[in-house]
Chain A
């Protein structure tokens, strides 16, 4: 299981994701502040990020790009989410490893996370 950071300004979604992921055995940190992403990663030893595309006026792809451009964080896989269907490509271009269109299937989410974590070379999973 892994330590997952959820960045979404919508508390409902954040909570729901937290509940699902914790139910599945992951450790979850939920944040509503995209600008504190790097800080949160460092503080909590995050292994995977679920990042909303549009968070209180901040474009998630910019957050994703800045992570990918920073060597200290570039190795951490980012899954981006959006209620818009047709932005998957933009997110992937920004460096996201996968994209989830809202509303998503719980099984699909968990499966994606499972697959991504499996592929991580430096797995710190417990």
Chain B
């Protein structure tokens, strides 16, 4: 080719032709290479896209699965759906209904078929599905979408499932509904009267049966204004109350509020405890008023009854002439009635601020204080006579009594005391006693004289006077007169002793003496004046005693004269001195007379009691001998008792301590 001119030869032409073909191939190859690169690139992009998409599906909180073919083979399921299924993570390649056989009976296949065969997507909300969790069926709620899946040729090859587990939301909703239901149920079944009123017009939103019954306007009141339903309360100040609550948010409470309302078609007066409270929405705005009320008509009427009764009793207590006071459990006065104020000339507060002891006569304060203390601690009634100072400063005799007031459990809650003026009674009593004393004293003078002369006469008459005796039995007659004078003297001293007991003047003169010789002396005297009587003395014990010699003698004489008196057919009386227990001595007097029946045995130591019997009339005396004896022995801290059998006789015994103790 060097130095030679290119020649258009046949050979040259062929080469050129080939070169052209090669160039074309090369161009095509280049295009293919480029195409290949583009495909590679788009393949990569597709892979990335799928990867991203898969990642989205996997990481989604929605439940996602792809089911392939008419057997719904799980081609893919994300983690959340596997967790709901609870059958592990290796479920791909298996039929959905093999993995979750519990779905068979729940109509799921119909939904899937709808999407698979008809190509219709199926959406369901709040679909309940039960899953078998280790043998326990647990109910879930889902929002579902079943969507047909297509291949490249627009043929359906499976169903895609996207679901949301709304079980928790559903449960919360149910609970809320139930709670609201319960709340409404509670309101309606409550015995309290409940209503909820909305807005400034007080539209009744809720009114329970109880309040409707009291309103008496039937069942259909909801949606109406309260004042439209109950026009009768408008004049009773109710709108103002509601307005206040509604406008200020204040709670208004009313107790035992009287309200006229309709009941069975009649206007009646009822009493109610009310509470009106503002109802606020979640932002704190007042949107209405709630009414909670309780009918307390019975209680209110009872309270009024109690108040009325209390007022009446207070009037009664103040009207009484007796001085009435109340003290607390410690004995401190808390109330004085009008009579106390009138008597002392002091005000109620003045009386309460002073000690009640200040009103008591100074000589009696200690006694009164001790008695009150004793009653407070023993819970016994107080019953004393005491002098209380009046407004003029004079001390007036009162009979003061107090008794505890107890609650249902029996605990003392207070003491009520009543003081009654007995000044006149005391004075009368004193006059009577003085008179009695005077009478017996005055009678004693002539009797002393009579007795003296009888004894003088008896002494002056010669013992041996048989001749004159036959004509004129002066001595026996005088003896009889003397006996009756003695009897008169005994009666007089009994009367005096009785008045002494009544006036608490029976004082003992304690001295030491030999009881045995004293009894012997008494018996000698008695024998002297009762010559036909057989008096026997048995001395089992001998002792000196500290006692009132005369009074003890009096008891023994009383026992013996009683024994003789009630032994009309026997003249035998047995006395015995013995030691009933260490430090004590007893004297008993036994007769064989008419005896005393059991019923009367308890009575005979009472004042003026006399044994009843056939020969009643012949038993002399006032019937105070044993009463007096009992008093005397009691004052010696001794005991007196009787053993007796009707028709067989009686045995009277007294025991006293050998050493007298006050």
Contacts and interface: CB of A to CB of B under 8 A. Distances in A.
Contacts of B449: 12-13, 15-16
A29 interface: no
A102 B452 CA distance: 10
Contacts of A17: 452
A12 B445 contact: yes
A86 B444 contact: no
Given A13-B448, A16-B449, A83 B459 contact: no
B549 to A, nearest CB: 12
B441 A86 contact: no
Contacts of A104: 448, 451-452
Contacts of B453: 16, 19
A84 B505 CA distance: 13
Which of B449, B459, B493, B509 gathers the greatest number of chain A CB atoms within 10 Å?
Answer: B449
Contacts, number: 57
A104 B609 CA distance: 29
B456 A83 contact: no
A62 interface: no
A103 B507 contact: no
A104 B453 CA distance: 11
Contact of A103 (B448, B456, B509): B448
Contacts of A13: 445, 448-449, 452
Nearest to A89: B509
A14 to B, nearest CB: 10
A83 B449 CA distance: 12
Interface in B534-564: 550
B524 to A, nearest CB: 13
B496 interface: yes
A32 to B, nearest CB: 14
* B interface residue count range (under 10 / 10 to 19 / 20 to 34 / 35 or more): 20 to 34
Contacts of A23: 456, 459-460
A122 interface: no
Given A85-B493, A85-B496, A102 B456 contact: no
A10 B445 CA distance: 8
Given A20-B456, A23-B459, A103 B451 contact: yes
A106 B455 contact: yes
Interface in A1-48: 10, 12-13, 15-17, 19-20, 23
Nearest to A109: B452
Interface in A54-78: none
B88 interface: no
Interface string B445-472: 1111101110110011000000000000
A102 B444 contact: yes
A33 B550 CA distance: 33
B459 A84 contact: no
B555 to A, nearest CB: 15
B460 A16 contact: no
Contacts of A102: 444-445, 448
Contacts of A89: 509
Interface string B49-80: 00000000000000000000000000000000
Nearest to B505: A86
B489 interface: yes
Nearest to B506: A86
Nearest to B440: A83
Contacts of B444: 83, 102-103
Interface string B494-517: 001000000000010100000000
A16 B453 CA distance: 7
B455 A12 contact: no
Contacts of B455: 20, 105-107
Contacts of B496: 85
A86 B485 CA distance: 21
Which of B445, B447, B489 gathers the greatest number of chain A CB atoms within 10 Å?
Answer: B445
A12 B444 CA distance: 12
29 contacts: A10-B445, A12-B445, A12-B446, A16-B449, A17-B452, A19-B452, A19-B456, A20-B456, A23-B456, A83-B445, A83-B448, A85-B493, A85-B496, A85-B550, A86-B507, A102-B444, A102-B445, A102-B448, A103-B444, A103-B447, A103-B452, A104-B448, A104-B452, A105-B451, A105-B455, A106-B451, A106-B452, A106-B455, A106-B456
Interface of A: 10, 12-13, 15-17, 19-20, 23, 83-86, 89, 102-107
Given A12-B445, A85-B493, A103-B485, 11 more contacts: A12-B446, A13-B449, A13-B452, A16-B453, A83-B444, A85-B496, A103-B448, A104-B452, A106-B452, A106-B455, A106-B459
The 4 closest A-B pairs by CB, nearest first: A103-B448, A106-B455, A83-B444, A16-B452
